[in-house]
Structure formats: structure tokens, C-alpha cells
Structure 1
Amino acid sequence: MCEPFIRNHQYNLIKNQADSVLHALRTVSDPKILESVRFSAQTKVAELFPEITDNQKTMLEPNSGLKTSDDFQKYLQALEPNLIEFPQITENQIRKLFPKNKKLKLPDLAQIDFRYVSFLSWTDISTNKMFIVYHLGGQFVGVEGRYTAINKKSYCFVCNRYEELALFSAISKKRPAHASSDYYKSVGNYLCMNGHECNKNMTDASSLEKFIHSVIG
């Protein structure tokens, strides 16, 4: 078996493309259109992995015999051993990312399947704070901010899905040259209240990484 090479958000996109092909098979009778949908799905998946081996490429390409929901489910299950887990992290490592929070409440790491995690996030209702942990540039980074539930659904900036959101606001560590001692800048965006669902939905990590860079500098 080859080394895992599929990140969670990439796996989610592969699932979405498989669903689009399955939907076309159920609703379209024109074979040319079906072939076009299959080709588009395979192209989008291939674009995720510009540097893969022939063996990996073969695994990613569903054959034309996939026609039923069970067929596609088996295809996706066959890819699961190739998922890259979120890097192993301990409670102590998380605490070091947020040194000012002496009473930091942590998620139950033992209950998390890290194959399906692009980022960790959790809330502390008592302090109205949300915490995000991400692996960026070979190291863990932590972002802490206030969250305000907006009590309605809209589109999350991370996963771009229509979900229950919170306004997440963090203080940016970026400081302009010659800034006064009391200068600060708040960076905010609308994020899923449920981090587990967000991880299941996200198909691109670029928006989250851009936001994190805007906070940590």
C-alpha cells in the first residue's frame, strides 16, 4: 500500500465529484452528456494532485463501470486508507498555543477521527471564545477569538456551505510600521458553529489559510 496522499478537504471534493456523476447517471439519458460529466469530475480531481504516481492516479480514477450508489461508496471506501491524518497533537501542545488561557477548555481528542480533520475548532461558552488549531508550514498554529452566533444560516467562509454560522473575530498580530502602542486590528469572518460539519464540507483550505495568515502575520 502506498503512503497516504489525500488530505481531508481533497477527499471531500472527490466525494462531491462522485456525487455529481452519480446524480447525472440517475437523471441524464444522453451518453455524451454523461461522458462530459465524468470527464469534468475526473479533471477536477486530477487538478488536486499535480504530482502523483501512476498507482495513485489509477486509484483516483473511477472506472466507467461505476453506476450505482453502492459502486461509488465502495470506490470512496477504497480511498480511505490513503487519507492523511491531521498531525498528532497532544493537549499540552494545544495549551502552549494559547498560553494566556490558564483554564483553557479542550476538545476530547480521543473522540476525534483525525483522518477527517483539516482543522480543529471548539468553543468555550463561558467566555464566548472560539479556538482554531491548524497545521501550517510544518508547525501548529493557534487562533483565538470571540464568536457571536448570528442565529441564522448563511455561507461559511471556510467550507462555503449553507450552515448555522457565528461571527468569529480575532485580533491580528500584524502591526504597521510606526504603529502606536494601543494599535490593534480585528479580523473577522463568518464560520460554521459546528467545526465537525465544517470539516466534512470543506473542499479547499485556501480561505482558512488566508484568514490565519491575516491574524498571525
Structure 2
Amino acid sequence: MIHVKETADRTGNAGGLPEAFIRNDQFNFIKDQTRILVTGQATGNDAEVLNVLRHLAHEKVFKLFPNLTQEQKAVLNPLAQVKETADAEAFLEQLRPYVIPFKAVTDQSLKKLFPKAKKLKGPKLEALDFKKLSYIGWVESSTLMYLVTEKDGTLHGVQGTLTRSHKKGICSICNRHSEVGLFTAKTKSSGQDNYTKRGNYICQNSDTCNSNINSLDRLNEFVERLQK
């Protein structure tokens, strides 16, 4: 059992523990692997098949972290012992202190990211759990949507409109089936006043999206496509 102290350093890690090394999307990937192991254990009795599932889960998770220390390996190794839902929940709870929080933002930094939004309200920052975020997304004035992402330690802001579709579909960011809406942003093209609209369907609820993201690839591709 990993005992977590109450004090935490600026990396979001609890005092006395190895440095946080797991991003939110990686935590979600690990969570997905625990679900596979629990489902496999519940539906199959073949020991060889279950061993293969455990080996694959272990291999996939360790592949996320090419330069693991021995301490970090010890944190992840209990994955192989997950059999039931209670095991998965206990394992994931012990991983929480090692999750890297999303880069800190303030009301002032948000205003700098969106200088043209003169009446920007922003999200309720005190209500956000930054350890459960791969990006920050919120809606203002019913249709205006703002996204804040982080890449290479730098925050990036994307402003657009969200047209709610009232139907379920595949989100371009998390690649899961959910209530989606069409996010559209204007990007400047050739010429002084020429703009091109780009967009795609994403989760209407960014909390749901953040809990589903198990890779940053689609998120980065989505933002890059809008900023071209």
C-alpha cells in the first residue's frame, strides 16, 4: 500500500513520493487497461489467455514511459495483479499522487490567450481538478467555446463556436462516442481580411472528454488543424 502525505509540491505530487510522471491521458490509458483485465477475468477461465492479457496490458502501459526509473516501475507493476473492480480502483487510487497536473492558469493568463475576447468570463478555476485535465474547455454566451491546451510547456488558446447537435457521435479529440457538437473556428488565410472556417465534432462536455482522452495525438492534431 502506498501511503500519501497531505503536503504536495508545485508539481502536484505529494511530499516524500517520487516525482509525478503520469499525464492525465496516460492515466486514462492505464484505466482502460485495468478495465480490460477486469472484463477478461470476469468472462474467461483460461489461465493462459488471462496471462496474455496481463502481459499485453503491462507491455502497453510501460511503452508509454520509455525512461522509467526503478521507483516508477514499482508504482506501475501492481497493474499485473488487477483481477476485480476493487483491485482496479485501489491501483488507480494509488497512481493519483503521480499524475502531473495541467499547467496552472490564472484569469490574467486566460485574458492574454484570448485578447480579442473583451468580456471573457473564463471557467471557475477553483472548481477545476487540474490532475484530471488534458485541456481546459468551456462555453460562454451559449455558443462561444474556448479551448486551452498545453504543448512543450506553453499554453495555447483556441476560440470558436459550438453548435450543439443533440445527437451522439465520435469526438475528434477523445475518439469516444458521446454527446457532440460542431466546434468551428476562423483561421486567417491568404489576404488581409480572408478567413477560413475549420472545425469538427467534439464532446459538448469537456469534463467527459478529459476523462476519455487516452492519447494527446488527436488533441494536438485538432488544434494544429484549426491554427493552420
> What TM-score do you get using the length of structure 2 for normalisation?
0.89
Q: Within 5 A, what are the aligned runs for 1:76-155?
A: 76-126=92-142, 128-155=143-170
Matches within 5 A, 1:118-197: 118-126=134-142, 128-173=143-188, 175=189, 179-197=190-208
Tell me, yes or no, if the aligned pair for 2:37 and 2:82 is still in contact at 8 Å: no
Judge which range, 153-162 or 63-72, deviates more: 63-72
- Percent identity over paired residues: 37
For the residues of structure 1 that align with 2:93 and 2:100, how far apart are their CA atoms?
14
Question: Shift in Å at residue 105 of structure 1?
Answer: 2.1
1:164–1:192 Cα contact (<8 Å) kept:
yes
Give the match's secondary structure for 1:62. Answer: helix
SS in 2 for 1:189: strand
Find runs of 4+ consecutive structure 1 residues off by over 3 angstroms.
63-66
Q: Which amino acid aligns with 2:159?
A: E
Tell me how many residue pairs correspond in the alignment. Answer: 212
Find the aligned partners of 2:42 and 2:222 in 1 and give their Cα distance: 39
Compared CA separation, residues 41 and 162, structure 1 to 2 (3 A): same
Runs of 5+ unmatched residues, structure 1: none
Q: Distance in 1 between matches of 2:90 and 2:170?
A: 31
2:44 is matched with 28
Q: CA RMSD in A?
A: 1.4
Deviates more, 1:63-72 or 1:183-192: 63-72
1:43 aligns with 2:59: yes
Counterpart in the other structure of 1:207: 218
Alignment partners' CA distance in 2, 1:170 and 1:188: 6
**1:63, CA displacement in angstroms?**
5.6
Are the counterparts in 2 of residues 172 and 214 from structure 1 also a CA contact under 8 Å? no
**CA–CA distance in structure 1, aligned partners of residues 118 and 194 of structure 2:** 25
Q: State TM-score, norm by structure 1.
A: 0.93
| Cα distance per residue 1:96-148 (max 9 Å; x no partner) | 1111111112110001111101100001134x211000111221110001111
More displaced stretch, 95-104 vs 56-65: 56-65
Unaligned runs of 5+ in 2: 1-16
Distance in 1, matches of 2:150 and 2:81, equals 38
2 CA distance for matches of 1:57 and 1:67?
19
What code does the residue aligned with 1:215 have?
L
